[in-house]
Amino acid sequence: MPPSLSTAASVLPFPLSRRPLRPLLLKLLPSPLLSSLSPPVESVSQRPYHTAIERPAGAYTRESRDRRDADGPSSTSSGAVCLPWYYPGPAGFSGPVDEFNEPIERLFVPELSVMHRLIPPSQLVTFNSAKDLSQLLYVHPRTGAVQPDPMTAVVCIDGACRDNGRPTARAGWGVYFGPSSRYNAHGRVAADLPQTSSRAEIEALAQALKILREIAVADLTLQEFRIVSDSEYLVKVMTLWISSWVRNGGRRTDRSPVQHFETLRRLYKTIDEMYYDDLGALNVKFWHVPRKSNKGADALANRALNAERGGRG
């Protein structure tokens, strides 16, 4: 082990064998060493598989940013302009930022990630039959080889609702870890809960987090979790809006209540706990994809509606 790595490991309050804690190492390792481990980042225009989003002209204030976050989907109901919800970061930064160049920590955008942007999106996920779940591929920073990231687990979630908006509505959820994975799950939204597609998406997230925690207990090598959803609303809730909603007591800036707030706040707290609890830094990020890229979870959600009961596998 290089001397600098040995020094970093020696000051950790727990052995590295407990679980690889990438966020702590990033803080402890000196900047020159980190720079040597990562290739230089080209300008946004040179990044493949990504079209640069121009930042909108005009001045922004912290107040306007908080209003956008707190308002959520109703912020466009009064005719406001719908702005892009993330931007490429400055040179040298890997990940999405908001209009203030502040990182959107829980949003995963492969095109903006140094280790993933060179891989076509359709080839970014591979199934690990030994672990019985899907993982990300990444470009090794030293060799340039494309290989599975052993620290990752990818899960797709989806909700489905038939007769949406009617008294006969029925909603179901699906959680997909890969073909024939024993961790795949599906079920109906409880009868005493709203039978809507948005509630089904939220239930799918709740079930996915529960299963991910079970997997993390059994496999200490897994740390980086990516939750794939085709619901832009749900992804925005969990990456942009929920913190402001919590600060505002479950209300938007117009004081209207947020639907399903208590459930969303509980899930938000669960993700925080997964990062800070005794299991180590379980880092959950959300990945928004087109509907056509989420067929596995969609099939499971619809299977739940065709069956009397849910299940695993």
> Which of 200-204, 207-211, 305-309 shows the lowest per-residue confidence on average (mean pLDDT)?
305-309
Q: What phi and psi values does residue 12 have, to the nearest 5 degrees?
A: -70, 145
- Give residue 254's pLDDT band: very low, low, confident or very high (50, 70, 90): confident
pLDDT (tens digit per residue) in 122-155: 999 999 999 999 999 999 999 999 999 999 999 9
Task: For the chain, count helices (H), then strands (E).
Answer: 9, 11
Residue 4, pLDDT score: 39
Q: Per-residue pLDDT for 38 more than 90?
A: no
280 neighbors 217 (Cβ within 8 angstroms): no
Residue 307's identity, in one-letter code, is: A
Report d(CA 99, CA 90) in Å as an integer.
11
Residue 93 CA, chain-centre distance (Å), reads: 18
pLDDT (tens digit per residue) in 94-128: 789 887 788 999 999 999 999 999 999 899 999 99
Q: Per-residue pLDDT for 10 more than 80?
A: no
Beta strands in the chain (DSSP E): 87-88, 96-97, 125-128, 133-139, 146-148, 152-162, 170-176, 185-188, 224-229, 283-288, 311-312
Q: Say what the pTM is.
A: 0.76
Report d(CA 254, CA 248) in Å as an integer.
11
245 neighbors 70 (Cβ within 8 angstroms): yes
Report d(CA 78, CA 56) in Å as an integer.
20
Report d(CA 155, CA 178) in Å as an integer.
8
Average per-residue pLDDT for the chain: 79
Domain extent listing, the chain: 1-37, 114-312
304 neighbors 310 (Cβ within 8 angstroms): yes
Residue 304, pLDDT score: 96
Residue 278, pLDDT score: 76
| Percent share of the chain, pLDDT over 70 | 71
- Span 276-291, average pLDDT: 90
175, β-bridge pairs: 157, 185
Residue 22's identity, in one-letter code, is: R
Q: Per-residue pLDDT for 36 more than 80?
A: no
The pair of structure tokens assigned to 108 is 């995963």
Residue 89, pLDDT score: 81
Rg (CA), the chain: 20
pLDDT (tens digit per residue) in 41-93: 333 333 333 333 344 333 333 334 444 444 554 433 333 334 577 888 877 77
- Span 216-230, average pLDDT: 96
> Which of 67-71, 90-94, 223-227, 232-236 shows the lowest per-residue confidence on average (mean pLDDT)?
67-71
Q: Per-residue pLDDT for 37 more than 70?
A: no
Q: Per-residue pLDDT for 34 more than 80?
A: no
Domain 114-312 has CATH 3.30.420.10: yes
Q: Per-residue pLDDT for 31 more than 50?
A: no
